[in-house]
């Protein structure tokens, strides 16, 4: 039963991260309704990429609590993740300047 809760929450965080991440790497501003009270201006593309990556990280963390993904991450996965993060942050900085 508790595994279903982890799966539900991981799906929730993954779905929330996708639009923020896509808008961020496209160089577009995207509003974050959860932070509207603390940050009334529209967040930057870099912020949205970081917010999306945070959601993806939470997704992976929650999936690690389930039986779907029980293998620990190896060096290959960490190198892939570092390249993914580097490219995403770079694109969020580059695209707004190229418009």
- Round to whole Å and give the CA distance between 92 and 49: 7
pLDDT number for residue 98: 57
pLDDT number for residue 36: 59
When divided into structural domains, the chain yields a total of: 1
Decide if 20 contacts 13 (C-beta within 8 A): no
pLDDT number for residue 29: 83
Decide if 17 contacts 56 (C-beta within 8 A): yes
Q: Which residue has the higher pLDDT, 72 or 57?
A: 57
Q: Is 12's pLDDT higher than 80?
A: yes
Which residues contact residue 44 at a Cβ distance below 8 angstroms, ignoring those fewer than 6 apart? 29, 92, 96
**pLDDT tens digits, one per residue of 17-67:** 999 999 999 988 887 666 656 666 777 899 899 999 999 999 988 888 887
Residues of the domain holding 22: 2-98
pLDDT number for residue 30: 82
- Round to whole Å and give the CA distance between 27 and 33: 19
């Amino acid at each position: 039963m508790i595994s279903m809760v982890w799966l539900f929450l991981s799906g929730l965080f993954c779905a929330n991260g996708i639009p923020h991440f896509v808008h961020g790497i496209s160089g577009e501003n995207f509003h974050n309704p959860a932070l509207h009270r603390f940050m009334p201006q529209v967040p930057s593309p870099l912020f949205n990429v970081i917010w999306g990556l945070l959601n993806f990280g939470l997704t992976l963390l929650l999936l690690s609590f389930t039986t779907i993904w029980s293998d620990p991450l190896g060096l290959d996965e960490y190198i892939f993740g570092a390249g993914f993060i580097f490219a995403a942050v770079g694109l969020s900085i580059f695209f707004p300047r190229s418009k």
